[in-house]
Amino acid sequence: MTNSTFAQRAVKKIVGGAATRRGALAATGLLASLAFGAFADRPASAATSYPNHPVTIVIPFAAGGSADVYARLLAPLLQKELGQPFVVEDRPGAGSLIGTESVKVSRPDGYTLLLISNTHTVNETLYAHKPFKLMRDFAPISPINSAALVLVTKPTLAAKTVGDIIKMAKAKPGALTFASSGYGTPYHMAGELFKQMAGINMLHVPYKGSNGARMDVIGGHVDMMFDAVTTMAPLIKSGKVTGIATTGATRSKTLPELPTVAETVPGYQAVIWLGLVAPKGTPAAVVDKLNAALTKILKRPDVQASWEKQGATPVTMSPARFTSFLKGDIKKWAKVVKVSGAKVGQ
């Protein structure tokens, strides 16, 4: 017997047996109870059937960067784990705002996801006005990985160590230039943090993407930049740029010959991390299912070994812990942004 048939018979029995206000109220209550039970089953069934068609992962950064690279490595692994295609779509522009906004307004059903980085936690302070708030409008799913950056210089720069750069910058404040892929990116913030902790002044030169910044360092038009180890390691080894230091707490397994910035500037650490979020309102059961799939993938020994060779360490957290991490990262970079004086979108 269906819930609907059962409800109809129950109502007839109650109303027919006692056509009173008390009977009518009882019938109403029974219908409400049955309706609630039917709706209560929906989240579980939605999670069980999810996904039943392709899922889109939006990358709000330019193609070729670490976010794009790791999303494309991850997509086929998620497809194998969950049984549906995961399609990577690049929607760069406006310091990640365009792609991020497009996901915010999408249906909160788990079929449109957003890959984020610490650019997003920086942007919470950097942009005075933007059409979303990270912690208000998105549901954290899981981090993906974390990677140290590397400080490189144009080959002709006389400074060959972190100490040399600090001395040169103090001798001529503002004369040295450092490139980045744009305001608020991890590459920009790594430079601002270095300036603050080393007590120096350098000129920031923002680009619309990391490729342009990288090419101008190689070409000698800009003195230096902080960039992804995975991208810069081959260029360092080929002599197109000079590797100075990496930005993690310990030396990079990819570039073990380079010291860390912290060996000269104690306490310095700046990494780039990636993570996945969904529009706020996405069912918790779907978020949990995605988190479980990512955790399983990122704990695979072959994935860990492959990514660590490239300089990236897989990272797993529960949705709740990732939420706490994001809140802490927003606070961390808010201090750097405020001291640097950088402000966009006023």
Question: What Å distances lie between residue 160 and 46, 154, 187, 218, 340, CA to CA?
Answer: 57, 10, 20, 15, 25
Q: Which of 234, 263, 292 is the last residue of a domain?
A: 263
Six token digits for residue 114: 């957003």
Do 140 and 156 lie in a common domain?
no
Helix 319-340, helix 186-198: angle, nearest 10: 60
Do 201 and 245 lie in a common domain?
yes
Do 160 and 228 lie in a common domain?
yes
pLDDT(240) > 90: yes
pLDDT(25) > 80: no
Considering the domain boundaries, does residue 280 fall inside one?
yes
pTM of the model: 0.79
Instruction: Give the domain CATH number at 96.
Output: 3.40.190.150
If pLDDT is split at 50, 70 and 90, which confidence band does 65 have?
A: confident
Do 259 and 322 lie in a common domain?
no
Do 94 and 194 lie in a common domain?
no
Kindly report the three-state secondary structure assignment for every residue of the chain: CCHHHHHHHHHHHHHHHCCCHHHHHHHHHHHHHHHHHHHHCHHHHHHHHCCCCCEEEEECCCCCCHHHHHHHHHHHHHHHHHCCCEEEEECCCHHHHHHHHHHHCCCCCCCEEEEEEHHHHHHHHHECCCCCCHHHHEEEEEEEEEEEEEEEECCCCCCCCHHHHHHHHHHCCCCCEEEECCCCCHHHHHHHHHHHHHCCCCEEEECCCHHHHHHHHHCCCCCEEEEEHHHHHHHHHCCCCEEEEECCCCCCCCCCCCCEHHHCCCCCCCEEEEEEEEECCCCHHHHHHHHHHHHHHHCCHHHHHHHHHCCEEECCCCHHHHHHHHHHHHHHHHHHHHHHCCCECC
Instruction: Give the domain CATH number at 200.
Output: 3.40.190.10
pLDDT(3) > 50: no
Six token digits for residue 166: 């600090």
Residue among 228, 207, 204 nearest 216 (CA): 207
Considering the domain boundaries, does residue 269 fall inside one?
no
Do 113 and 143 lie in a common domain?
yes
Q: Which residues make Cβ contacts (< 8 Å) with residue 103, sequence separation at least 6? A: 58, 112, 113, 114, 138, 277, 278, 279
List, in sequence order, every residue forming a beta bridge with 140; answer none if it has no partner.
277
Considering the domain boundaries, does residue 345 fall inside one?
no
Considering the domain boundaries, does residue 315 fall inside one?
yes
Considering the domain boundaries, does residue 268 fall inside one?
no
Do 142 and 182 lie in a common domain?
no
| Start-to-end C-alpha separation, the chain | 62
- Rounded CA separation 57/60 (Å): 10
User: So what's the pLDDT on residue 307?
Assistant: 92
Do 132 and 152 lie in a common domain?
no
Do 140 and 152 lie in a common domain?
no
Considering the domain boundaries, does residue 286 fall inside one?
yes
Do 174 and 259 lie in a common domain?
yes
- Rounded CA separation 50/39 (Å): 17
Six token digits for residue 58: 């939006």
List, in sequence order, every residue forming a beta bridge with 113; answer none if it has no partner.
57
Residue-range definition of the domain harbouring residue 16: 3-40
If pLDDT is split at 50, 70 and 90, which confidence band does 45 have?
A: low
Do 133 and 191 lie in a common domain?
no
Considering the domain boundaries, does residue 201 fall inside one?
yes
User: So what's the pLDDT on residue 1?
Assistant: 45
Contact between 147 and 227 under an 8 Å Cβ cutoff? The reply is no
Do 251 and 313 lie in a common domain?
no
Count of structural domains within the chain: 3
- Rounded CA separation 15/311 (Å): 72
Considering the domain boundaries, does residue 135 fall inside one?
yes
User: So what's the pLDDT on residue 12?
Assistant: 41
- Write out pLDDT tens, residues 152-180: 999 999 999 999 999 999 999 999 999 99
Give the lowest-confidence range in 71-75, 92-96, 108-112, 120-124: 92-96
Q: Which of 207, 239, 263 is the last residue of a domain?
A: 263
